[in-house]
A and B are shown apart, each in its own frame.
Chain A
Amino acid sequence: MPVLARVIEAAGIATVVVTMMPVLAEKYRSSRVLAVEFPFGHSFGVAGDVGMQSRTLRSALDLVVSARAPEARVDVEEPWPGDPKEAYKSWQPSEPSPIVAHSIDAIRKARREAAAEEKGT
């Protein structure tokens, strides 16, 4: 998605990326990043929570108005309501995506390395 934002911004449209992965948006040097600590697929908040969705959208628009230079980032202060463990599980698909299944060996290796690193610290 930061790829699209970059092309569209370069064509003269002011863009803002509302993302739970600001680390990725920053790697692509996105012009404006609104960072949200929400589960994947829920960029603007909880289903049915009109207030939360509206606050997130307003924050994105405020950033478009206030930012004066590229690579502007604002982090939304609002935490995800409810049980984070449940949210962690519920955004994920019922079965691993094809690329995850395809890459399962690499993922297992990364998991082992992360565990070893954690053990070592």
Chain B
Amino acid sequence: MTVDSYAFLPRAFRAMFEAEPQFDHEPVWSELTKPLADARVGLLSSAGMYLADTQEPFDVERERREPTWGDPTLRMIPNDVEQQQIDATHLHINTADILVDFNISLPVARLNELVAEGVVGSAAPEHFSVMGFQEDGAEVWRTEIGPDIAARCHAAEIDVLILAPA
């Protein structure tokens, strides 16, 4: 089976994605140098999740005023988070299922099960949440948020990061 990128996308959007230019930089590569059973795994979702009681929502009001802008900021989600702590702001997807079960985009519970089974060495103490609509070029992600996440991964001794675009 070859996944059809446009299976769930309105037909009119297809031309916009097809028009995206091919990125011409060389690919990058970091090998996992230890067994998965010894590795620490972190998760990153762009579904716009945040901790309802302690974190600010992503700024969708500014996005409404400036449609080509998307909030580039980062939220940290603790590994022991529970469903009732999670809220989400995202103007490009329906977040209803995420508010029922956030594991569909940030599978913290599934990761912890694999740690308990010994498949994965450990889970990151905190996972990463961003909001996926970004301005053309995603400049802040590329120059600030990406390096910040990488530094946090190093500080937390994360070996593998699984990223889930929403």
Contacts and interface: CB of A to CB of B under 8 A. Distances in A.
A, B bound: yes
B53 interface: no
B80 interface: no
A41 B166 contact: yes
Chain B interface: which size bin?
A: 35 or more
B2 interface: yes
A75 B7 CA distance: 14
Given A7-B146, A42-B104, A97 B92 contact: yes
B144 to A, nearest CB: 10
A39 B132 CA distance: 15
Give the residue among B46, B90, B146, B151 with the most A Cβ atoms within 10 A: B146
A107 B19 CA distance: 13
B3 A110 contact: no
Contact of B107 (A29, A44, A101, A114): A44
Contacts of B77: none
A36 B3 contact: yes
Interface residues of A, number: 82
B65 to A, nearest CB: 8
A18 B106 CA distance: 11
A41 B95 contact: yes
B3 A20 contact: yes
Given A64-B36, A111-B11, A91 B28 contact: no
Contacts of B28: 6, 9-10, 29, 31, 70
Contact of B105 (A2, A43, A103): A43
A93 B94 CA distance: 4
A29 B25 contact: yes
A58 to B, nearest CB: 7
Contacts of B36: 61, 64-65
The 6 A-B residue pairs whose C-beta atoms are closest, nearest first, are A7-B146, A11-B150, A98-B67, A70-B27, A1-B165, A35-B3
13 contacts: A6-B146, A13-B153, A13-B161, A22-B3, A35-B3, A41-B166, A44-B104, A61-B160, A64-B32, A84-B8, A103-B67, A110-B14, A110-B16
Interface of B: 1-18, 20-23, 25-32, 36, 41, 44-47, 63-64, 66-68, 90-98, 100-101, 103-105, 107, 109-111, 113-114, 119-120, 130, 132-134, 138, 141-142, 145-147, 149-151, 153-154, 158-166
